[in-house]
């Protein structure tokens, strides 16, 4: 079969593009090198829906960030991913930084950010009592929010798949050739996919993918960001996302509640050799702790539950690269999507569809497109009475597997069956929160392994933590 479109990369950008294109009569396939979706930058980031005051005016980042924010809040009503408009505070700690706040405010106005205001330190502390006494002024960005980045990605790809998009995991694109207007894309083990149009959404790999297709016009510079996640006892310290003034390297260390009620602190910004550098360092975590306490001195890092690193895919010119390649016709680059890529993803996807129209591709509406995805957390959100009624019909929902996060067997089985299906422990964790709590899966992992083996028809010894050889057990004694 020759697909109309092959999308390389199953992150939030590949997902948003896939869902956008599912609105048209096109056959599409997503090719992903890992064994699940949302495993690159779209898994490990701050999860902030940025207001749009930070990007330089007249850049793609500024335009698509502003357009993207409201699109995300609207899409959440159809796709049921967790999102909340909590607003963000950017704090000044000195007279010099006060001038920076004014600059950010003016830039925000130029970019079209609605509903910003500047507060004194005391006014800000009335809204956020645990904010440092050293804060002298705050930019209050009320259109900003928080979102669960991997649930957003799962929802976009799940909805695209429900509408006919195919997903091929463990397909590492190694070769792209074009002959008579058709691309032949080969994987690490010789599997071949053919398509009329290729859309490169490969994140940290986007520079390399472009080069193997014949266009080496850009190179990705990976920059790591380390985080510490704290448990729900800390989640109520602040309601807004608390930023410090941004620098050239990034938006600085933030302290933010997450949509699940935890507290997130970080990220650092360090150049690294490759996007595989996802380890944490003592110095990185020390920086996160010290700078978080500068904004919110009461944060208690004894309540940390995990640390992790996400790697940004930047480019020397600082803007997103979204265009048909000059050198390879029919090949669209959507690369260097660092922050605010998450906030902009739906606007990026619409921009890609416009590029395709400009290339003369006929985008005829798909009358059968269903924009809604069933709420994967419908059970969790029920009242006790509703849960009891539901359990009468399906007893699996009455068996609690993860005690920390109260996740039932029914929810885990559904996550392994629903698009895109969970295939390993981390996949179940991202979809259901089983293993996300204080014990980090120490208690529930063996039973979750049994459920995965049972649902997938494989042996328990074949179940992995996160694909490619990460087996949990060696053999059955």
Active site amino acids: 50
The strand order across the sheet containing 145-147 reads 48-49, 145-147, 83-84
Cβ at position 285, least distance to ligand FAD in Å: 14
DSSP class of residue 76? H
Judged by CB under 6 A, the number of residues near ligand FAD is 40
DSSP for 299-330, please give it. --GGGEEEEEEEEEEE-TT-S-EEEE-SSSTT
Question: Please, which residue, 203 or 235, has the CB nearer to ligand FAD?
Answer: 203
* Interaction between residue 45 and ligand FAD (CB under 6 A): yes
Asked if residue 8 binds ligand FAD (CB under 6 A), the reply is yes
User: Which two three-digit tokens encode residue 16?
Assistant: 């948003």
Sequence-distant (6+) residues with CB within 8 A of 92 are 98, 100, 101, 135, 136, 137, 138, 245
12 counts as binding ligand FAD under rule CB under 6 A: yes
- Asked if residue 225 binds ligand FAD (CB under 6 A), the reply is yes
421 secondary structure, DSSP code:
P
d(CA 444, CA 403): 8
Region of 55-63, 202-210, 365-373, 416-424 interacting with ligand FAD (CB under 6 A): 202-210
Contact between 201 and ligand FAD per CB under 6 A: yes
When asked if residue 346 is in the footprint of ligand FAD (CB under 6 A), the reply is: no
Work out whether 337 is an interface residue with ligand FAD (CB under 6 A).
yes
Binding residue (CB under 6 A) for ligand FAD from 13, 161, 199, 321: 13
Largest CA distance in the chain: 67
Q: How far is the CB of 29 from ligand FAD (least distance, A)?
A: 12
Of 293, 281, 288, 337, residue with least CA distance to 313: 337
Residue selected from 311, 346, 404, 416 as contacting ligand FAD according to rule CB under 6 A: 311
CA distance 231 to 364: 48
Q: How far apart are the first and last CA of the chain?
A: 45
Find the residue with minimal CB distance to ligand FAD. Answer: 341
User: Could you tell me which stretch among 31-39, 130-138, 157-165, 467-475 binds ligand FAD (CB under 6 A)?
Assistant: 31-39
Q: Which stretch binds ligand FAD (CB under 6 A): 118-126, 131-139, 203-211, 358-366?
A: 203-211
Interface residue list for ligand FAD (CB under 6 A): 8-14, 31-34, 39-42, 45-48, 50, 172-173, 201-205, 209, 225, 267, 310-312, 337-343
């Amino acid at each position: 079969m020759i697909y109309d479109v092959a999308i390389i990369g199953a992150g939030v950008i590949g997902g948003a593009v896939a869902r956008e294109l599912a609105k048209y009569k096109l056959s599409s396939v997503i090719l992903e090198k890992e064994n699940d979706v949302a495993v690159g930058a779209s898994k490990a980031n701050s999860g902030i829906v940025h207001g749009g005051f930070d990007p330089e005016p007249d850049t793609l980042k500024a335009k698509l960030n502003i357009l993207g924010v409201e699109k995300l809040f609207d899409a959440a009503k159809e796709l049921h991913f967790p999102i909340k408009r909590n607003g963000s505070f950017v704090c000044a700690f000195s007279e010099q930084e006060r001038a920076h706040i004014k600059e950010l405010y003016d830039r925000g106005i130029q970019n079209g950010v609605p509903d910003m205001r500047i507060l004194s330190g005391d006014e800000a502390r009335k809204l956020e009592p645990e904010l440092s006494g050293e804060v002298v002024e705050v930019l209050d960005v009320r259109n900003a929010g928080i979102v669960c980045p991997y649930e957003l990605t799962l929802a976009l790809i799940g909805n695209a798949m429900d509408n006919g998009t195919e997903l091929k995991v463990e397909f590492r694109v190694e070769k792209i050739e074009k002959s008579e207007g058709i691309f032949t894309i080969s994987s690490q083990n010789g599997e071949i996919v053919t398509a009329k149009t290729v859309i490169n959404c490969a994140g940290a790999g986007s520079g390399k993918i472009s080069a193997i297709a014949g266009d080496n016009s850009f190179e990705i510079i990976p920059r790591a960001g380390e985080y510490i996640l704290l448990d729900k006892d800390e989640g109520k310290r602040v309601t807004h996302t608390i930023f410090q003034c941004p620098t050239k390297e990034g938006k600085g260390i933030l302290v933010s509640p997450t949509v699940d009620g935890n507290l997130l602190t970080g990220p650092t910004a360090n150049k690294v050799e490759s996007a595989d550098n996802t380890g944490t360092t003592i110095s990185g975590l020390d920086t996160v702790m010290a700078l978080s306490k500068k904004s919110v001195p009461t944060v208690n890092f004894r309540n940390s539950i995990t640390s992790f690193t996400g790697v940004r895919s930047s480019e020397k010119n600082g803007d997103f690269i979204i265009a048909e390649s000059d050198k390879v016709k029919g090949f669209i680059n959507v690369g260097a999507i660092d922050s605010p890529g998450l906030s902009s993803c739906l606007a990026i996807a619409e921009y890609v569809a416009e590029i395709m129209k400009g290339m003369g591709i006929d985008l005829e509406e798909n009358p059968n497109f269903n924009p809604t995805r069933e709420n994967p957390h419908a059970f969790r959100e029920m009242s006790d009475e509703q849960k009891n009624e539901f359990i009468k019909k399906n007893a699996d929902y009455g068996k609690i597997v993860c005690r920390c996060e109260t996740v039932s067997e029914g929810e885990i089985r559904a996550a392994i069956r629903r698009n895109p299906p969970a295939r390993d422990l981390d996949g179940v964790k991202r979809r259901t929160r089983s293993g996300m709590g204080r014990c980090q899966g120490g208690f529930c992992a063996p039973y979750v392994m049994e459920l995965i083996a049972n649902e997938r028809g494989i042996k328990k010894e074949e179940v992995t933590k996160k694909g490619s050889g990460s087996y949990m057990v060696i053999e059955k004694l």
